[in-house]
Amino acid sequence: MEQFLLAAALVVVAGAGIAAAALLVRQRRETGDLRAQNAVLARGLDLREKELRHLADVRLPELMESLHNPGVRVTGPLHDLDREAPAYGQALRTVTELFAGSAARVRERADLSAKSTLRAMMRAVQSLANEQQLAISDMQERHDDPDVLEGLLRVDHMNAQLGRRAQATAVLCGSWPGQQRSASSLSDVVRGATSRIRDYLRVNMQGPVNTAVTSRAVEPIVLTLAELLDNAARHSRPDTTVEVNFQSTHNGVAIMIDDAGVAMDAEELQRAADLLSGDASVDIHRLGDPPRVGFAVAGVLAARYGFRVSVDTRSPYGGVRAVVFVPSALLTDVPGERAPDPSAASRPAAESPAPAAWTGVPATPGGLPKRTRVAVAERPAEDAEPPPVQGAGAQPPPLRPARETAAGLGAWQRGTRSGRAATPSDGEGPGIESKDLRP
C-alpha cells in the first residue's frame, strides 16, 4: 500500500513538474512575443515621430519654397512608408497635398492682389507721364530760348524713360501696352525704342529694310526693343556701341541687337530662356532687388502677340546677341509708299501741270501759308552768304554753338509735330493716330 501511494505521489509530482515546465515554456514564449510586439510598436512609434519631425522641419519648408522657386527639390520621407507604415504614409501624403494646395491658393491671391495694386499705381503714373508730356510739348511750342529748349528736351527724354518703366511694370501685372499706333516701318520702330532709353546715343542702326509692322504690334515690339536695348547698353562699357541689324527671311524679319558687354553663363541663359518663352507666369516677387523686368516683359509681350525673342546667341563683339523675330503675320507694307503708275510714263509732257508761281511765302502741301521763325529773318545778312570754298590747307569751319543746336532741334520738333497735326499722310483719315513713337 505504501508503495502504491509512493508511486502515485511520484506520478503526481512528475505531472506537476511537467505541467510547470510546460507553463514555464509557454510563459517564456508569450514573453518573447510581447517583447517582439513591444519592439515593433516602439520602432513604429519612433518612425512616426522621426517622420513627423522631418515633415515639419524639412519637407514643408522645402515645399513652401518650391512654390516660389520651381528649382527647389522637395525631400521625400526618411523611410519606406509604403512598406513599413502604409496608412501613416498615406496620411502624410494627404497632409502635404493639402498644405501645398492651401499655400498655392494663398500665394495666388497675394500675387493677384499685388499685381492689381501695382497695375492701378502704374496706370496713375502713366497718366501723369502723359499729362507731363503734353505740358512739355506746350512749353516747346511757346518758348524759343535755346537754353530753355535744351532743358525741355532733356526733361522730355527723362519723361519717356519714366513712361517706359511704368508701362513695362503694368504689362507684367497683366495690363495691355495701352497705346495704339498706326503701322510703322521697322526703322521707325527701332528709333521709337531707342528714344526711350538712357544711352540712346550709343545705338547704331544698320541697313533698315523696306518693311513695316502692323498697327496692333507696333507698341509691343517698341517696348520689347526698348527693354532689350536698355539691357544691352547697361551691361556694356559706356564707350562701346549697341549695333542693331535686320535680316529678312522667308517668313518674317529678324531684328538683331549686339552689344560688347559680358556674356551670360549657362545658368543665366537658361533663366533668360525661361522668361523669354512666356510659358510660365512671372512671379513679380522674384525679379531681384532692384527688379530686372526686361526679359520678363519681352517674354510676356512675345507670347501675347506672336513674335519670338531669344538671347542664346553670342555676339560677334563678345557680348550677347538678342534676336527679335517678327513673323510675316505682323508685317505689312511701309505706309505712305505708292506703287509707280505705269500710265505716268506714257503721258505727254504737255499734260503735266505747270509749277505754281513762287510767291515768296512758304506753304504746306495743302496750300496753307507756313509760319516762319522771326529769329531766322533777323539774322544778319552776312550769315546768309555762302561760305567760301576751302582749299587743301584751309581750316574746317567752327562747330555750331550749343544754343544754335538746341534752337534748331526745337524748331525741327515743333515743325514735325505741327506737320503731323495739320497734314495727315496719304491713306490716313480722321481718327487715325500719328506715328509719333514717343510714350
Higher pLDDT, 99 or 415: 99
Using the structure block, give the residue that is written with the C-alpha cell 532689350.
Answer: 228
Higher pLDDT, 251 or 208: 251
Q: How confident is the model at residue 434 (pLDDT cuts 50, 70, 90)?
A: very low
Residue 274 has pLDDT above 60, yes or no: yes
**What's the Rg (C-alpha) of the chain?**
40
Greatest mean pLDDT among 30-39, 61-70, 130-139, 278-287 lies in: 130-139
Among 336, 85, 57, 330, residue whose Cα is nearest residue 220? 330
Q: What is the mean pLDDT of residues 114-134?
A: 87
Instruction: State the pLDDT at residue 63.
Output: 84
DSSP state of 369: B
Q: Give the tens place of pLDDT for each residue, 188-220.
A: 999 999 999 999 999 999 877 789 999 999 999
Higher pLDDT, 117 or 14: 117
Residue 18 has pLDDT above 70, yes or no: yes
Using the structure block, give the residue that is written with the C-alpha cell 517696348.
Answer: 223
Q: Give the tens place of pLDDT for each residue, 73-116.
A: 888 888 777 777 788 788 888 888 888 888 888 888 888 888 88
Can you state the angle between helices 402-422 and 146-172, rounded to 10 degrees? 60
Which region among 20-24, 235-239, 400-404 has the lowest average model confidence (pLDDT)? 400-404
Which helix (H) or strand (E) element contains residue 313?
strand 308-314
Which helix (H) or strand (E) element contains residue 12?
helix 2-54
Q: What is the mean pLDDT of residues 213-230?
A: 93
Residue 247 has pLDDT above 70, yes or no: yes
Number of H helices, E strands in the chain: 12, 8
Residue 93, amino acid: R
Residue 367 has pLDDT above 90, yes or no: no
Distance CA 125, CA 119 (A): 10
Instruction: State the pLDDT at residue 259.
Output: 93
Distance CA 119, CA 44 (A): 54
Which helix (H) or strand (E) element contains residue 43?
helix 2-54
Residue 262 CB neighbours (<10 A): 12
Q: How confident is the model at residue 396 (pLDDT cuts 50, 70, 90)?
A: very low
Which region among 64-73, 272-281, 328-337, 385-394 has the lowest average model confidence (pLDDT)? 385-394
Instruction: State the pLDDT at residue 412.
Output: 53
Answer yes or no: are the C-beta atoms of 225 and 326 closer than 8 Å: no
Q: How far is CA 314 from CA 17, 233, 243, in A?
A: 95, 16, 13
Q: What is the mean pLDDT of residues 409-414?
A: 54
Instruction: State the pLDDT at residue 47.
Output: 83
C-alpha cell at 122: 502704374
Higher pLDDT, 182 or 335: 182
Q: How confident is the model at residue 337 (pLDDT cuts 50, 70, 90)?
A: low
Which region among 78-92, 337-351, 422-436 has the lowest average model confidence (pLDDT)? 422-436
Instruction: State the pLDDT at residue 327.
Output: 94
Q: Are strands 331-332 and 212-213 parallel, antiparallel or unpaired?
A: antiparallel
Q: What is the mean pLDDT of residues 266-275?
A: 88
Residue 348 has pLDDT above 60, yes or no: no
Cis omega before residue 380 (within 30°)? Answer: no
